[in-house]
Structure 1
Amino acid sequence: MLRWAPYPFIRITLSLVAGILLYFILGEGLHYSMEIFAFFVAAFIIAAVFSLRAKAAEATNMAGIVGLLCFVFLGFWATHLHTEKNNPQHLLHLSGQPAYYVGVVEDYLVQKPGYQSTVLQVQQVQVNGKWQAADGKVQISLPHDSEKTYELNYGDVLLIKGAPQKVAPPGNPNQFDYRQYLANKGIYHRHYLQAFQAQKIGSAPPSPLLAASIHLRRNLDFLLRQRIEARREYAISSALILGVKDELDNSIRSAYASTGTMHVLAVSGLHVGLIYLVLVWLFSFFAPSVRQRVLQAVLILGFLWTYAFLTGLSPSVLRAVVMFSFVTVGTAIKRQTNIYNTIAIAAAALLLLNPYNLKEVGFQLSFLAVLGIVYLQPKLYGLLEINNWLLDKVWSYFTVAIAAQLATLPLGLFYFHQFPVYFWFANLLIVPAAMFALYTGIVALAFSWVPVLSSLLFALHYGIVWGMNWFNEVVQHLPYALLNGIDITALQTWLLYAFFIMLLLFVALRQLRYFALATGIVAVLSIKEIMETVQQKEQELLTIYNVRGSTGIALVQGQQATLLADSALLHDESNFSFNIQPHLWYLGVARPQFASMGSGAIASAAYTMLPDSNSLVVWQGQRMLLLSHPPQLTSQQPLSPNYLLLRNNVRVKPQVLQAYAPGKVILDASNSPWYRQRLHQQLDTLGIAYYDVADSGALVVRLR
């Protein structure tokens, strides 16, 4: 039988989570969140008083249920308070478009080739010639081509000319929803600025502590850049120690992702945990007296929060430091509590500070990994008894990697659609290497003022990082190193976790009903997978994707597809991976056949190059005329294509388009904004139906 009495904080945290989820579902329509919370608090007080007087189990249970409902609606109310757009002065509620606005830089500055990006907290806007107070966050991007490393700083007050735009929804099916990602951070607007549109008018850091932390992190990052000349190794070192990932290129990201070791590049629970273990070992000489335990806890907390300060007080580090702070305090005061309550207290504190942490992938993965290690790792470790010290340590690291991977597997499949086959092998070497790289890097920075010693430490640190990169690239190229294209729904993710939980309950409690439930879940998953596969094998659809500056057309039949693309898209793997691949994976297409426009050959369709260098595609009874050059062919009878696609700002008069009698004119994202706007007016005047992919998103035509 499951006993909940020893886990009060787990019940409280689960109630908070339920309230937060309830707001995400009903928050827009359910008002008076504070009043509802106050009602349940009053009801709990009445129920508690009645329970004390009645001294009956039923009354006590009822008071407990009402108490948990208090936490449900506390989570609901806290989420309402932290939802930026509920502020009446928010940018979303302005009566008109602002001509100017003033705001303060309140976030880290992300530096990329050619531009810099950050978040501006708006303070005032000018609407219809009048200034008024306003609220809201705007993600701004500024061109950056000077030799100066940073042109903006945290706390800079900027005067911006122009109006920010609402963040656009995803342009393609199943594409990463960047709008929702920003909304979870309270950002609903973006603004791509020219240099003349922004002017610094002052400095007023919202948090002097964060300003000092960011300034220190920049100085340490600059020191790393000076002492580690190889760009790739510097990028890894800066990401590993300070959490600065601006210089990580796609190739090295891909190598670490393919081996399941990407987590070592995100300063979070792993790094704080490694530092915590060393601190516990260093201060293990303290006697078990109360005073010395308190002194040990103070020292550990001091070092942990100092490291958080060095990394710019980033949210991921703060989450981990808060968790280990609770562990440290619990150990110091010798509370008879278990690690699950400690983890629950940390989660509840972080969710009350910001309920939208619940939507953060890092938050979800961190807590699941910790739970997996705490529960599963001892059980896996106990399967083998090894007398050799070195082999025992290897087995311990191996079981930690397995436990964390199992706990996060369904969520990893849901978010990243891939499974690194050799994660157990890669983590076996990369995690210890990352540990030594972190320690040597921190010590090298601490002793950077000592000439010979610092050079030796930086050389050692560089060697470890170089070895990590080399090893990851070797593992990446092993056969079947990465299984990708795995597409599961949110429901399937929940079902997978339900299966794991039922299986664990069966093993722990030896009750057959849990095994029966696990079997039932497998049956549901299997039926759903079979139905999905049958549907995919019968599908036929044509998709014209929204790919900025390029043309991409997918012809999907069953679980096979041909992607007709221009040279710009064919030579840009990241563009394909971000904009098109998620949709094809959703359709069950592991990898499409690529066909180049102008090649004159498509395996699954009739592709004809016309004498005027344009082309005609005929597929499944659908005719598509692709115009990338001014049309010069004449015919006594209209060609009457189902779709007429205009590409690359092709010069064509709308009257000429009428002669083709197309079913619909399509403008794809290879056309410039000014061109599409001009065509909109001309086509509207002539009454020609059209579809603008760049404005309305990918065009998906399902034939079957």
Structure 2
Amino acid sequence: MLRWASYPFVRITLGFIAGILLYFSFGEQLGHGLWMLAFSFLAFILAAILSRKYKTAFATDVAGMAGLLTFLALGYSATHANIELNQPQHLAHLPTPSTHYKGVVSDYVLQKPGYQRTVLQVEQVRVNGKWQAATGKVQLSVPHDSERAYEVSYGDVLLVRGAPQEVAPPLNPGQFNYKAFLANKNIHHQHYLRPLQYQQISSSPPNPILYHSILLRRQMDNILREGVGEKREYAISSALILGVKDELDNSIRQAYADTGTMHVLAVSGLHVGLVYGVLMFLLARIGSTDRQRWLGAILMLGVLWLYAFITGLSPSVMRAVLMFSLVTVGIALRRRTVVYNTIAFAALVLLYINPFNLLEVGFQLSFLAVLGIVYLQPRLSRIWEIPNRALNWLWLSLTVSVAAQVATTPLSLYYFHQFPVYFWVANILVVPAATLVLWSGMAALAFSWVPGLGWLLFQVHFWLIWAMNAFNLWVQRWPQAIITGVDISAWQTWLLYLLLFVFILFLALKKLRYLSIAVGLVAILSVQQVWKEMQQRQQRQLVVYSVRSGTSIGLVQGQQAMLVADSAFLQNQQSYTFNVQPHLWQSGVAAPTQVSFASPAAPAVLLPDSNQLLVWQGQRWLILSKPPKLQPKPGFAVDYVLLRQNVRVKPERLQQYTFSKLILDGSSAPWYRQRLHQQLDTLGIPYYDVAESGAFELEL
């Protein structure tokens, strides 16, 4: 039986998380939560007084429950207070769009091809010719068309002309919900700026510590860029040491993702743990007097927070540094700390600062990985006792990797829909290699000013990265290196974690009832999957996807699909992965057949005027990409007409055809579609614009 007395912070944090989830479930239906917090706190004070007076187990339990309810109410009210959209002066509540707005750059500046992206904290807006105070965050995309490394910097106060737009929801089924992702960061607007549409008027960093941290990280990044030289190796070096992933190309990202080693490219708990582990090894040789112990702890804390400062005080590093700092202080105090309390306290602090951390994928995966390593790794390592030190070190590395993977697999399947088969092989070598890359890079940065020595250290650093990349690319080419297309629901994810928890209970307590529960959960998951596949085999669907500057039509029948698209889309793998692939995976289609409109394999007839007539499953679609020159015969009817590529056609001419609705796809320019909207509205022709309303889905 679990004894809660030793885990006070675990109980408190779980109560706080319950309050956050309560707010996410009911929103403002329960108010801002202050009345709930006041009531539960008063109930806790009263229960605590009564428990001290009567000293019974029941009174103590009541006081404990009241305390947990207080933290639940605190989580609820903290979440409400953190949502900027609740403020009356927020941008979302403006009666009319602004003509200008002013704010300060409050986030890192990310390099993108041709532009840079950051976040502007709005301070004032100009509405109806008058300036007024306002709040809200705007994601800015600034064109990068000068020789300067950064067009804007953290702390710049900008004057912007125009009005920001609300972030658009996902336009395709199953597509990543970028609107919700930004909303979790209190960002509800974005603005794609043109040159000369903004002006820097001053500099006022909201956080001076973060400002100097970013400046230092930029200086370190410039030294790495010059010292490493080659673009691919420099990109890995900057990502692994400083957390700057702007220069990583998609092929190398994919290689690390396919081998299950992507975590080494994001400065996180792993990197802080590597720094902590080496320091602990060095400090273990120092004496154990109180003074020496505290000097070691101060040195450890100084190095950890210096590393966080160098890496730009990113949230992932702050999580780990906070956790290891608590462990360090506990060791200095000679307190026998329970590691679960340390983890829970770190989570509580981070969630109190920003309750939306709970919805961050990185936050969820990092804490699950730590819990997996803390609980599972010691038990896995005891399965095989190896006397040889080198082999034992490899075995311990393997058990750490397996423990972290087991704890994070259900969530990884839910978010990323793939499973790296050879993660255990890759991590055995990549994690130690990343350790050497990290320390060689830090040494190269520290001694870059020393002639000869700095060059030598950068050479060692470069070849370590080259070898690590070569190994990952090699493993990526192994047969069946990755299982893709896995699609599970949030409910199935919870069931998988419940199954894992129950199975662990069975192994720990050796009670048959837990195994019976596990078998029952497997049966539920199996029935769900069978039912899902039965539905997928009966589906027939035609989808016109919303893709920028392109046309893509999905013809789904059962668990097979054909994708009919233009050549521009077929050559853009990134657009397919982002816009189309999630829906096909949801439909049980692993790899669709991709054909162009001109391909003989496409179910389309080429008409004499170079347009096409698509015929599939009883549907007839007239696809116009050229001015129509054929006069339809009497009685000729199609189900839909699709206009592509800014086709020159008068809406009056379309009235000659018999169809149920006109479809506009993303291959036509915005000006063309807007002009056509007005003409179609005037003539009363029904239409659907996938670029504005999202993918057109037709169930057959």
Normalised-by-shorter TM-score class? over 0.9
Q: Partner residue of 2:411?
A: 411
Q: Partner residue of 1:425?
A: 425
Q: Partner residue of 2:320?
A: 320
* Within-5 A mapping of 1:243-642: 243-602=243-602, 606-642=603-639
Query: Is the Cα contact below 8 Å between 1:264 and 1:431 reproduced in 2?
Result: yes
**Deviant stretches of 4+, over 6 Å:** none
String of CA shifts for 1:32-58, please: whole Å, max 9, x gaps.
Answer: 311210110001000111111122111
**C-alpha separation between the residues in 2 aligned to 1:332 and 1:359?**
34
One-letter identity of the residue aligned with 1:108:
Y
**C-alpha separation between the residues in 1 aligned to 2:242 and 2:314?**
9
Query: Is the Cα contact below 8 Å between 2:597 and 2:604 reproduced in 1?
Result: no
String of CA shifts for 1:167-199, please: whole Å, max 9, x gaps.
Answer: 000010110001111000110000000011101
**C-alpha separation between the residues in 2 aligned to 1:276 and 1:636?**
79
Query: Is the Cα contact below 8 Å between 1:617 and 1:624 reproduced in 2?
Result: yes
String of CA shifts for 1:394-450, please: whole Å, max 9, x gaps.
Answer: 001000000000000000000000000000000000000000000000010011100
**C-alpha separation between the residues in 1 aligned to 2:367 and 2:279?**
22
Query: Is the Cα contact below 8 Å between 1:414 and 1:488 reproduced in 2?
Result: yes
Q: How far apart are residue 600 of structure 1 and its match?
A: 3.5
Q: How far apart are residue 692 of structure 1 and its match?
A: 0.4
One-letter identity of the residue aligned with 2:696:
L
Q: Partner residue of 1:655?
A: 652
Query: Is the Cα contact below 8 Å between 1:100 and 1:163 reproduced in 2?
Result: yes
Query: Is the Cα contact below 8 Å between 2:327 and 2:337 reproduced in 1?
Result: no
Query: Is the Cα contact below 8 Å between 1:638 and 1:660 reproduced in 2?
Result: no
**C-alpha separation between the residues in 1 aligned to 2:215 and 2:581?**
39
* Within-5 A mapping of 1:75-90: 75-90=75-90
Q: How far apart are residue 11 of structure 1 and its match?
A: 0.8
Give the secondary-structure state (helix, strand or coil) at the position aligned to 1:379: helix
One-letter identity of the residue aligned with 1:556:
V
**C-alpha separation between the residues in 2 aligned to 1:559 and 1:305?**
52
Q: Partner residue of 1:238?
A: 238
Q: Partner residue of 2:190?
A: 190
Q: Partner residue of 1:676?
A: 673
Q: Partner residue of 1:685?
A: 682
Q: How far apart are residue 520 of structure 1 and its match?
A: 1.0
Q: How far apart are residue 289 of structure 1 and its match?
A: 2.1
Query: Is the Cα contact below 8 Å between 2:210 and 2:313 reproduced in 1?
Result: yes
**C-alpha separation between the residues in 2 aligned to 1:148 and 1:188?**
29
**C-alpha separation between the residues in 2 aligned to 1:206 and 1:338?**
37
Q: Partner residue of 2:643?
A: 646
Give the secondary-structure state (helix, strand or coil) at the position aligned to 2:409: helix
**C-alpha separation between the residues in 2 aligned to 1:337 and 1:301?**
17
**C-alpha separation between the residues in 1 aligned to 2:402 and 2:508?**
19
**C-alpha separation between the residues in 1 aligned to 2:361 and 2:618?**
44
Give the secondary-structure state (helix, strand or coil) at the position aligned to 1:195: coil
Q: Partner residue of 2:25?
A: 25
One-letter identity of the residue aligned with 1:180:
A
Query: Is the Cα contact below 8 Å between 2:319 and 2:350 reproduced in 1?
Result: yes
**C-alpha separation between the residues in 1 aligned to 2:119 and 2:660?**
44
Give the secondary-structure state (helix, strand or coil) at the position aligned to 1:5: helix
One-letter identity of the residue aligned with 2:699:
R
One-letter identity of the residue aligned with 1:24:
F
Could you tell which deviates more after superposition, 180-189 or 330-339?
A: 330-339
**C-alpha separation between the residues in 1 aligned to 2:127 and 2:613?**
50
> 1:59 aligned to 2:23?
no
Q: How far apart are residue 596 of structure 1 and its match?
A: 0.6
One-letter identity of the residue aligned with 1:701:
L
* Within-5 A mapping of 1:158-169: 158-169=158-169
**C-alpha separation between the residues in 2 aligned to 1:68 and 1:337?**
22
Give the secondary-structure state (helix, strand or coil) at the position aligned to 2:6: coil
**C-alpha separation between the residues in 1 aligned to 2:597 and 2:477?**
31
In structure 2, runs of 5+ residues without a counterpart are none
One-letter identity of the residue aligned with 1:518:
A
Q: Partner residue of 2:146?
A: 146
One-letter identity of the residue aligned with 1:700:
E
In structure 1, runs of 5+ residues without a counterpart are none
Q: How far apart are residue 515 of structure 1 and its match?
A: 1.1
Q: How far apart are residue 638 of structure 1 and its match?
A: 4.9
Q: Partner residue of 2:105?
A: 105
Q: Partner residue of 1:41?
A: 41
Q: How far apart are residue 286 of structure 1 and its match?
A: 2.5
Query: Is the Cα contact below 8 Å between 1:638 and 1:659 reproduced in 2?
Result: no
**C-alpha separation between the residues in 2 aligned to 1:667 and 1:498?**
46
Give the secondary-structure state (helix, strand or coil) at the position aligned to 2:96: coil
**C-alpha separation between the residues in 2 aligned to 1:409 and 1:499?**
13
Q: How far apart are residue 94 of structure 1 and its match?
A: 1.0
One-letter identity of the residue aligned with 1:156:
D
String of CA shifts for 1:78-100, please: whole Å, max 9, x gaps.
Answer: 11111111111110111110000
Q: How far apart are residue 635 of structure 1 and its match?
A: 2.7
**C-alpha separation between the residues in 1 aligned to 2:599 and 2:562?**
14
> 1:698 aligned to 2:695?
yes
Q: Partner residue of 2:179?
A: 179
* Within-5 A mapping of 1:131-142: 131-142=131-142
Give the secondary-structure state (helix, strand or coil) at the position aligned to 1:28: helix
**C-alpha separation between the residues in 2 aligned to 1:585 and 1:258?**
17
**C-alpha separation between the residues in 1 aligned to 2:66 and 2:564?**
60
**C-alpha separation between the residues in 2 aligned to 1:687 and 1:107?**
47
Q: CA RMSD in A?
A: 0.8
One-letter identity of the residue aligned with 2:112:
K
Q: How far apart are residue 336 of structure 1 and its match?
A: 2.4
Normalising by structure 1, report the TM-score. Answer: 0.99
One-letter identity of the residue aligned with 2:396:
S
Give the secondary-structure state (helix, strand or coil) at the position aligned to 1:163: coil
Give the secondary-structure state (helix, strand or coil) at the position aligned to 1:131: strand
One-letter identity of the residue aligned with 1:609:
L
One-letter identity of the residue aligned with 1:614:
N
**C-alpha separation between the residues in 2 aligned to 1:249 and 1:508?**
45
**C-alpha separation between the residues in 1 aligned to 2:387 and 2:95?**
74
String of CA shifts for 1:3-50, please: whole Å, max 9, x gaps.
Answer: 222111111111111111111111232203112101100010001111
String of CA shifts for 1:582-628, please: whole Å, max 9, x gaps.
Answer: 000000000100111112333xxx42000111101111111111111
Give the secondary-structure state (helix, strand or coil) at the position aligned to 1:50: helix
One-letter identity of the residue aligned with 2:148:
K
One-letter identity of the residue aligned with 1:307:
Y
Q: How many residue pairs get matched?
A: 700
Give the secondary-structure state (helix, strand or coil) at the position aligned to 2:671: helix
Query: Is the Cα contact below 8 Å between 1:418 and 1:486 reproduced in 2?
Result: yes
**C-alpha separation between the residues in 1 aligned to 2:365 and 2:399?**
18
Q: How far apart are residue 281 of structure 1 and its match?
A: 1.1
One-letter identity of the residue aligned with 2:48:
A
Give the secondary-structure state (helix, strand or coil) at the position aligned to 1:213: helix
Query: Is the Cα contact below 8 Å between 1:640 and 1:663 reproduced in 2?
Result: no
